[in-house]
Amino acid sequence: MPMDANEIERLIRSGIPDAHVTIRDLAGDGDHYAATVIAASFKGKSRVQQHQLVYQALKGEMGGKLHALALQTGTPEG
């Protein structure tokens, strides 16, 4: 079953409270999303670690219910 964009955003925020989350539904099918997650708490972390934090927040939905989520992460200053 596809996942709602609001649900994805809610999950990410619950795991990373200071995150600014932008989600785009790429194909309009509720199954292929692109998410940009910007958080000050990412500072000093590698890209891999930042993505891992987002995947953790998604509580195992990534790769399962959430089939395709293109992810871009960063800190507020870029």
Partner 1 sequence: MWPYLERMEALLDRTLAKLNKDTTMAIEQFIDNEVKNNDVVLFMKGTPQFPMCGFSGQVVQILDYIGVPYKGLNVLENEDLRNGIKGYSNWPTIPQLYVKGEFVGGCDIVREMFQAGELQSFLKEKGLPVKETASA
Minimum CB separation of residue 74 from partner 1 in Å reads 10
Report the interface residues with partner 1, using CB under 8 A.
47-48, 51-52, 55, 60, 62-64, 68, 70-72
Pick between residue 44 and residue 78 the one whose CB is nearest to partner 1. 78
Minimum CB separation of residue 41 from partner 1 in Å reads 19
Pick between residue 17 and residue 63 the one whose CB is nearest to partner 1. 63
49: exposed, middle or buried (C-beta count within 10 Å: 0-12, 13-18, 19+)? exposed
Helix boundaries (H) for 16-63: 47-57
| DSSP sequence for 3-21 | --HHHHHHHHHHHSTT-EE
